[in-house]
Structure 1
């Protein structure tokens, strides 16, 4: 399965779109927004550029994307007053399958909003920049600040170590690392993450100017156990949901046995080790946090909201492999299973914020 050609958040603004179902990601970025804005402020004061280069890697589409740009512009404008701010060069990056059109269609209103609130609007250039961030994207020394939220836990590919010499999955019945997975499975996932993350760091270090900074927000796990009751447990529930459709005869068992996700939740120790080993960037901050599980005003259960979020993220991959016809039933079952598990014991998906600098 060619991840780069298939994987994307669900576009548009329909009921299953990422635009309508990315509030959990927004809550995470908002929780650590003060860190993001503090770093962009420090980078600007240290480098004092006339043209400020910013990249959002894995930008997706929907309101979160331009919200981040607006906050950064406001912050830099506040530092510069009464002098005019620098010009802003903003590169919005994601895979070519991303719904860039939705972003472009939102730009006229975004620019109008900036102009209406200022006597002298900022000089702002925004461009879509399709391509995988596992490798070079930009020229040397052209960026001052890089931001990536909820993207780096997605691997460049399904780890090849999950397959035997006849290209059959060794992780039958599971989408990710589970208690039934053979020892080669966590090793394969860890190896792929090491390769991808190291390549990401090396590529970004060449693209950042000296004094440039980077803020990364990604899912992870607490401690060495891959099968914690956090992010990996949500994949366990999705495996069970698909298994229930197998039992009903709606999904072939062979289809389930041959499906593996391109996801990895690293530990704090893994991140620290890989950053030190790659060596091109200085680690300033690495913290773990959890998003509070608030009550939805319309009475929607937590499980339903998680199901809609996961669907907006995984619909492209699941639809390609299993067919779109199963998706409604699959995520109805999934939402109910999440609620049932939450009634027994809390599920605690953890998120990291990582701050890196180029010396």
Structure 2
């Protein structure tokens, strides 16, 4: 179960806090959609209080970047519309029970002070912060208590490794050698999990409440298309090399699978329509280059090595716990060094992107 393996905590070299620039860029790219959603929510009813939940907040700075942008946008609207009464903000941080909430909470005083400095010490209403541990594939909040739900780069993680995929030997994810039964098992697990997520949020959001979700995706119906699988394909290659050298047992690799699924837009839309209590305001695809310093190939092998190393650290910060639990700690440094080399080699030859979907939804009756 993913329940016990959160992102790397703390502020060390391999922590999520120090290796989440990629995810921060995704929040920036999708901000116009979030901005439109919070603007429509506020202007529909001019609330005096807002309950906001960030699901899959982890322990790094990204959740605070998102919240700062959101609150500043609401306060800007309040001034433009000459609403005098300050809003009260109830902010909920959700992640797994084992998430490093302490690192996040330590950042709150400076975050709050920065908000006051930007908005005005006497103009910003009270902000109440709450940690909510638990899987978002379960109910987390009382009925009809939330106004705005946000989740960025968490929903592609499934609640568990799909059952019945023992035949996926030599692969840690869906690949072109995976049997059809394995591909179908992953699809069914996503369908079950995303359906559960939507049902839970439909109970917790007020009518008219908004939800903005961003997650890994694919642009085609082919589940084994490499465009959405590079991150795990390259990790798979690194493990195969270590198996061939006897560093990793073949049986260990054969029994390891990553609980991740990249849905198509059609699959996302189908589940939203099936749930029936949300209307889709927008559903869009975005792409982000693995090399965050450029959008073009520059022919520099040194730059490719640096970018490969940085992206490998990003994946390590989100998947290390899962790998350590299965293989043990002794292979981690070697595995991710090889992983970085493989990434750097491919990045020197081609641009590689992560594909994402962002869905803006409104809770209806």
Structures share fold, TM-score greater than 0.5: yes
The residue that corresponds to 1:257 in the other structure is: 254
State the distance in 2 between where 1:347 and 1:278 align: 34
Aligned position for 2:338? 333
Matched with 2:143 is 140
Structure 2, gaps ≥5 residues long? 295-301
Distance 1:337 1:50 in 2: 52
Q: Which residue of 2 aligns with 1:165?
A: none
Q: 1:346 to 1:227 in 2, by over 3 A?
A: farther
2:297 counterpart residue number: none
Q: Distance in 2 between matches of 1:347 and 1:226?
A: 18
Name the counterpart of 1:76.
Answer: 74
Aligned residue in 2 for 1:15:
13
Q: Given the alignment of the two structures, is residue 170 of structure 1 paired with residue 175 of structure 2, yes or no? A: no
The Cα offsets for residues 225-251 of structure 1, whole Å up to 9 and x where unpaired, read as 122222312211111101111122221
Q: Is residue 2:100 matched to residue 1:99?
A: yes
The reply on whether 1:306 has 2:311 as its aligned counterpart is yes
Which residue of structure 1 lines up, in the alignment, with residue 43 of structure 2? 45
Greater alpha carbon shift after TM alignment, 76-85 vs 210-219: 76-85
Match of 1:129? 132
How much does 1:113 deviate? 2.1
1:217 and 1:352 in contact (8 A); partners too: yes
Q: How many residues align?
A: 351
2:115 is matched with: 114
Mapping of residues 1-359 of structure 1, within 5 Å? 2-5=1-4, 7-81=5-79, 82=82, 83-117=84-118, 118-120=120-122, 121-162=124-165, 169-292=166-289, 293-295=291-293, 299=303, 301-359=306-364
CA contact (8 A) 1:19 1:62 kept: yes
TM-score by length of 2: 0.93
CA RMSD of aligned residues (A): 1.6
For 1:166, the equivalent position in structure 2 comes to: none
Q: What is the CA–CA distance in structure 2 between the aligned matches of 1:342 and 1:206, rounded to whole Å?
A: 44
**Matched residue of 2:353: which SS?**
coil
Q: Write the distance in 2 (CA, Å) between the matches of 1:231 and 1:331.
A: 20
Counterpart-to-counterpart distance in 2, 1:161 and 1:50: 50
C-alpha separation in 2, matches of 1:245 and 1:179: 21
